[in-house]
Amino acid sequence: MKLAILGVAALLMFAGAIYLFLYAGRRERAEEMLQRLRATDDSIPGTVVTEAKVHNPVVRWACHLLWRAGSEAKPASVTTGLLLLMAIIPLTLLILGTLTGLFVLAMAFLIGWFLIARQASMRRAQIVEQLPGYLEAVMRVLAAGNTLEEAIASGARETQDPLRSLFVSIGRQVRLGAPVDVVLAEAAEIHQIRDIRVLALAANINRKYGGTLRNVFRSLIQSIRMREAAQRELRALTAETRFSALVLAFIPLAVCGFIFLRNRAYYTDMLATQSGRTTLVVALVLQVAGMLVIWRMMRSATEGDA
């Protein structure tokens, strides 16, 4: 009886997720068309909708993670995807069983999160690497007497992806009426880039009190290049240590998965006793804590802009 109720609930959730997915697709296309019209025609009224203002914390976290990885998914599409995942969870547990299903779902989540986070880290490194050349192009446009908004848009046309897509999006929101410093601050928060946060602060001061931004840009360019040189040297010195850390982090997971696939009754017997459950929980907590410590150490050694 419980399995039948669970199956019906899963089917209903799956059907609702499909409906929301189709509805979100239609709404997303309509919003894109309206946004294009607003960006090209100043006579069309409308409020400014910034990409960072997502009220649901889970959807906001998922949106920021996907945007950092280079995806242009809308919050409605991300919400639909999360609903689909929620519908898949009970189906997986129903088909594979509770223990196997939880293991498969946990491994899928960890692998997916690792791949997306890795892509986001590589994209952030490319953005920081391209930023000095972009700032030099912005300085040339500012020296010709243009505004900061015009310089940002002009400099974005001269650079390449992924920096180009980021500042094209910033320029689009500025054309829709958002203050440039607010948009830059939101982009820095989403992509976790300290240098863009400095740009936002400089733009905010310039908007309120005036003054020139070229000295700030020169100092920022020099700082980025010096930091990149130091990070390359640090990566070369810590390459062996970082590889050892990865091996130490993933060997326990590999051994656990091998034992589970070869002898499932081993964990079933452990879960049947209080001491076995306590041992598994303590082992899981220690493994997660160790991976977080290793990840934090590696991140602090390789990503000075995060």
CATH class of the 122-236 domain in this structure? mainly alpha
275: Cα separation from own chain's centroid: 39
Q: What is the DSSP string of 135-150?
A: HHHHHHHHHTT--HHH
What do you get for the CA distance between the two ends of the chain, in Å? 51
pTM, to two decimals? 0.63
124-175 tens-digit pLDDT: 888 888 888 888 888 888 887 778 888 888 888 888 888 888 888 888 888 8
Sign of CA dihedral 241, 243, 248, 249: positive
175: helix, strand or coil: helix
Gap between the Cα atoms of 74 and 222, Å rounded:
36
> At 2, which amino acid appears?
K
The domain ranges of the chain are: 122-236, 238-302
Residue ranges of alpha helices (H) inside the chain are: 2-40, 57-68, 75-96, 98-143, 148-158, 163-175, 180-191, 194-209, 214-237, 239-262, 264-271, 274-302
Identify the weakest region by mean pLDDT among 151-160, 273-282, 292-301.
292-301
Spell out the residues 6+ positions from residue 124 whose beta carbon is closer than 8 angstroms to its own: 68, 191, 192, 193, 303, 305, 306
Sign of CA dihedral 199, 203, 209, 215: positive
- Report pLDDT for 277: 80
Question: Tokens 């320029």 label which residue?
Answer: 171
